[in-house]
Homo-oligomer: A and B are copies of this chain.
Amino acid sequence: MTRRTVFFISDQTGVTAETLGHSLLTQFEGSEYDSVTLPFLDTVDKIDEALKLINDRAAEEGLGPIIFSTLVQDNLRKQFKPKAGVLIDLFNTFLPALEKELHAKSSHKSGRAHGLVDTIRYDQRIEATNFALKNDDGSRTQDYSRADIILVGVSRSGKTPTCLYLALTYGVYAANYPLSDDELETGVLPAALLENMDKVYGLTIEAGRLRQIRHQRRSTGRYATMQQVSFEVRAAEAMFARYKIRFIDTTKSSIEELASTILANTGVERRIKP
């Protein structure tokens, strides 16, 4: 398959067009694309510019472009007629079926999905993000009673980004606690965790991958040796088994996948619904 450019077109942020396109294109294995996002195309002039860019690129490549569009305003969508390629148009395709089922007309106005002014939703994300920041890396444990979930694992097993993603995306209060050498050696969890065992969820990772991640950050010292990471991973998994802590392997998962798997496995309720 020849390399060609994929365009994500929107009169808003382009986030939905990218998500849609990424999901579809990952179904074509081994393909690679250059991707260009053209967001905020909210005037006739901007659509004209975008069309010129797309048509020029198609002429250069000798291949029709692949275009994912979430243009919602009728006039813009009608104007957007690329000369070649395939146009995957979210709203054109699906709004008619929804209008019929809902017995309602859609607004065809942009600025709804991600620009929605929703103060409560915003506040919940911010509060959850602040909670994750304050309760990162075991820095304090006195607020664990307010946590929805407490992620536990060795250093660099993925706790912090997973907590931040849970907060920003789902409004979930996620703390994290790194297992210290001392705890790994004795195999005993601290009181702060023992008092909140229903919220504790483990992260593990393959030793080789952990060594690589640690190596990228600090090239010398025991911290990134194979011996040390192997000990830590084995000891952490032994603790999960002894305390019957549910856990997930982060080695081959994206942050999105970790976050939604943890929610699905624990039944923790999101504060922010789609």
Contact = CB atoms under 8 A, between A and B. Distances in A.
Of residues A28, A40, A100, which shows the largest number of chain B Cβ atoms within 10 Å of its Cβ? A28
A67 to B, nearest CB: 10
Contact of A125 (B12, B19, B91, B161): B161
Contacts of A200: none
A165 to B, nearest CB: 6
A138 to B, nearest CB: 15
Copies of this protein in the complex: 2
Nearest to A212: B119
Interface string A252-268: 11111101110010000
Contacts of A90: 20, 23-24
Contacts of A113: 22-23, 26
A53 interface: no
Of residues A29, A101, A130, which shows the largest number of chain B Cβ atoms within 10 Å of its Cβ? A101
Contacts of A12: 257
A34 to B, nearest CB: 8
A191 interface: no
A126 interface: yes
Interface stretch (A102-110, A143-151, A180-188, A228-236): A102-110
A91 B26 CA distance: 11
Contact of A28 (B27, B37, B104): B104
Contacts of A88: 94, 97-98
Interface string A165-186: 1001000000000000000000
A15 B112 contact: no
Interface string A126-156: 1001100100100000000000000000000
Interface string A43-66: 000000000000000000000101
A95 interface: yes
B122 A21 contact: no
Interface of A: 1, 8, 12-16, 18-29, 31, 35, 37, 39-40, 64, 66, 70, 72, 85-86, 88, 90-91, 93-95, 97-98, 100-104, 106-109, 112-119, 121-123, 125-126, 129-130, 133, 136, 158, 160-161, 164-165, 168, 209, 213, 216, 252-257, 259-261, 264, 273-274
24 contacts: A13-B256, A13-B259, A13-B261, A14-B260, A22-B274, A23-B90, A23-B113, A26-B113, A27-B106, A27-B107, A27-B112, A28-B106, A29-B112, A35-B274, A64-B101, A86-B97, A114-B257, A118-B254, A119-B209, A130-B160, A133-B133, A133-B160, A168-B168, A168-B255
